[in-house]
């Protein structure tokens, strides 16, 4: 049984009548402003996103998206919930076990929005916390039609039957732990699960490329959220550089705590805190070693605000002062980063791949000047990763998006050159075992880049001055 309203209603429920499954302005005015559905993003912007998606669909076409499910560490012990980014982008709904269907309308409205969620259940909510419920799906999240996720199969069959084409990236799960996953999977062969049967008569196409194009261009509100995350995280890095650290674990704990204290909701990803040779492991996350005075420490971390992330890497001396070889290598990377950031503007018509090539050329020349033998695969060994990636709701945003297209105003990217010198005879002895990366989050603008993480200091004189 579904509920429907003839027109969208924005506030017929009050906080006094109902508790919700996520913060709203009525319940958490210290977190959200009037009109915001999630921090920094208004209900109107979410509606516009759905409208933009619908405009890309054929007549009577629909997009089908599923929320993330709660994942379990062991038994009843669950991991912290994190919403599917595509689902969140279009709905702002931040609970598990939900399905959104957005269709291109033939009526007065430009799209129709169906949102199926968990129904209110006082007994369950006493244990698991509040749910928003089906009525809030209509009145708060502005769906045209809502219903209990447990009863979705009949409604979904009808909607798909009436659609000309179905765009979706939903794939069968392997662990049917909920009403939603039981729809998308079975213990029989994949084609026998309920969703596959429902989709059998439909023309099904991937949604990924359409959503990538929408999500890749950030609104002013999205950029503001990323700037808040970048500012708070950058300040945390600078605070960390002021202090002496003896273990990776303590520095890791300080950064994660300070991100939150400065206004972020959480860490955007598992931090890398790598002292000495550990920095040569690109995604070293054990963070359990000691920090030695003669070494550098590389920290790759960032907070998130309203689900929008920031991505920062800084490398600094544990003692507070660079040795001459550390300084030479650091300056080579910093000069490369400065040059590449300056190219992150739409008017320059550079792609991420092109800027990566420029970074390679600049680093190759700098290393040759420091006495490195740059023949053969030297640069690939010393600089093994790409210069940058797109960022937004995800650390590696819009998966599959080409890095060959010219950057456009409104895109957000990282710029992160790094060098990791193996401890072998091929390389100059003074530099062996050193790993350095410098990374900032950047918003591309028409004539100049906007550095979202500028509060994290990176000039050598500024880093050393913090401990003077």
pLDDT digit string, tens, across residues 333-354: 999 999 999 999 999 999 999 9
pLDDT for residue 468 is more than 90: no
pLDDT for residue 18 is more than 90: no
Task: For the chain, give the percent of residues with pLDDT over 70.
Answer: 90
Mean pLDDT, residues 412-431: 98
Rounded (5°) CA angle 425-283-301: 125
| Res 250: pLDDT | 98
| Res 200: pLDDT | 75
Position with higher pLDDT, 12 vs 360: 360
Q: How confident is the model at residue 154 (pLDDT cuts 50, 70, 90)?
A: confident
Mean pLDDT, residues 200-223: 93
Q: Of 141, 144, 145, 146, which Cα lies nearest the Cα of 10?
A: 141
pLDDT for residue 12 is more than 60: no
Mean pLDDT, residues 441-463: 98
Mean pLDDT, residues 362-368: 98
Distance of alpha carbon 231 from alpha carbon 35, whole angstroms: 24
Task: For the chain, give the percent of residues with pLDDT over 90.
Answer: 85
As a whole number, the mean pLDDT across the chain is 92
Cβ neighbours for 181, distance < 8 A, ≥ 6 positions apart: 69, 173, 175
The label of the residue with tokens 């419920």 reads 133
Is residue 446 packed enough to be buried (19+ CB in 10 Å), middle (13-18) or exposed (0-12)? exposed
pLDDT for residue 17 is more than 80: no
| Res 10: pLDDT | 42
Cα 66 to Cα 115, 149, 170, 303, 334, distances in angstroms: 10, 11, 7, 25, 42
Q: Count the Cβ atoms, other than its own, within 10 Å of residue 266.
A: 15
Q: What is the CA radius of gyration of the chain?
A: 25
| Res 257: pLDDT | 98
| Res 316: pLDDT | 98
Which two three-digit tokens encode residue 92? 């702002």
The label of the residue with tokens 């939900």 reads 98
Which two three-digit tokens encode residue 405? 């297209």
| Res 105: pLDDT | 79
Least confident range from 151-155, 284-288, 331-335, 425-429: namely 151-155
| Res 353: pLDDT | 98
Q: Count the Cβ atoms, other than its own, within 10 Å of residue 339.
A: 16
Position with higher pLDDT, 5 vs 317: 317
Position with higher pLDDT, 106 vs 252: 252
pLDDT for residue 6 is more than 50: no
Cα 314 to Cα 6, 128, 310, 343, 465, distances in angstroms: 53, 39, 13, 21, 16
pLDDT for residue 9 is more than 70: no
Position with higher pLDDT, 248 vs 201: 248
């Amino acid at each position: 049984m579904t509920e429907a309203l003839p027109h969208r209603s924005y506030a017929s429920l009050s906080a006094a009548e109902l508790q919700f499954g996520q913060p709203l302005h009525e319940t958490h005015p210290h977190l959200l402003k009037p009109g915001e559905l999630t921090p920094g993003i208004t209900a109107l912007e979410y509606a516009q996103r759905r409208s933009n998606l619908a405009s890309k669909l054929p007549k009577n076409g629909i997009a089908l998206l599923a929320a993330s499910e709660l994942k379990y560490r062991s038994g009843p012990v669950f991991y912290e919930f994190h919403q599917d980014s595509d689902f969140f982008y279009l709905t702002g709904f931040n609970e598990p076990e939900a399905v959104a269907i957005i269709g291109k309308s033939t009526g007065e409205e430009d799209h129709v929005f169906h949102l199926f969620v968990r129904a209110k259940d006082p007994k369950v909510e006493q244990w698991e916390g509040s749910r928003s419920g089906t009525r809030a799906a209509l009145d708060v999240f502005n769906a045209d039609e809502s219903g209990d996720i447990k009863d979705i199969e009949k409604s979904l069959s009808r909607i798909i039957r009436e659609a000309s084409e179905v765009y979706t990236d939903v794939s069968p799960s392997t662990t049917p732990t909920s009403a939603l996953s039981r729809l998308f999977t079975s213990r029989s062969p994949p084609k026998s699960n309920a969703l596959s049967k429902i989709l059998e008569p439909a023309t099904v196409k991937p949604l990924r490329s359409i959503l990538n194009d929408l999500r890749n261009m950030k609104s002013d509100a999205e950029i503001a959220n990323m700037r808040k995350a970048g500012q708070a995280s950058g300040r945390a890095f600078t605070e960390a550089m002021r202090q002496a650290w003896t273990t990776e674990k303590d520095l890791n704990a300080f950064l994660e705590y300070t991100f939150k204290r400065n206004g972020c909701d959480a860490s955007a990803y598992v931090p890398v805190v790598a002292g000495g040779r550990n920095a040569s492991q690109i995604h070293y996350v054990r963070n359990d070693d000691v920090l030695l005075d003669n070494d550098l420490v590389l920290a790759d971390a960032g907070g998130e605000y309203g689900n929008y992330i920031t991505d920062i890497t800084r490398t600094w001396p544990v003692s507070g002062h660079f040795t001459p070889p550390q300084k030479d290598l650091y300056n080579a990377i910093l000069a490369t980063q400065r040059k590449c950031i300056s190219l992150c503007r739409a008017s320059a018509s550079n792609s991420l791949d092109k800027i990566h090539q420029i970074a390679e050329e600049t680093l190759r020349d700098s290393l040759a000047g420091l006495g490195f033998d740059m023949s053969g695969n030297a640069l690939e060994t010393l600089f093994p990763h790409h210069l940058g990636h797109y960022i937004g709701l995800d650390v590696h945003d819009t998966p599959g998006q080409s890095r060959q297209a010219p950057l456009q105003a409104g895109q957000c990217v990282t710029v992160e050159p790094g060098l990791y010198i193996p401890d072998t005879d091929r390389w100059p002895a003074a530099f062996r075992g050193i790993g350095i990366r410098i990374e900032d989050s950047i918003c591309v603008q028409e004539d100049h880049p906007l550095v979202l993480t500028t509060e994290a200091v990176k000039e050598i004189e500024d880093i050393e001055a913090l401990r003077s």
